Amino acid sequence: MDTDYHSINHQELSRPVIIGDHVWIGCKSTILKGVTIGDGSVIAANSVVTKDVPPKALVGGIPSKIIKKDIEWE
């Protein structure tokens, strides 16, 4: 979801989530509003993605962190 469905102090309700090409998102992961996932990235299962993910990165954890860069997967 890219929204909170309600505003607090008239703040913006939504910001788009952008998911690049050839991205693998593991089961039960949460991607917060306004985050961009770069092409070729992998999001580990059960991760909470709070910040942008660069292309070809493996991220995981709560909150997610870069585990490995310059990955390639098929």
Distance between CA atoms of residues 55 and 48, nearest Å: 17
Q: Are 17 and 33 in contact (CB under 8 A)?
A: yes
How many CB atoms sit inside 10 A of residue 57's CB?
21
- Residues involved in catalysis: 6
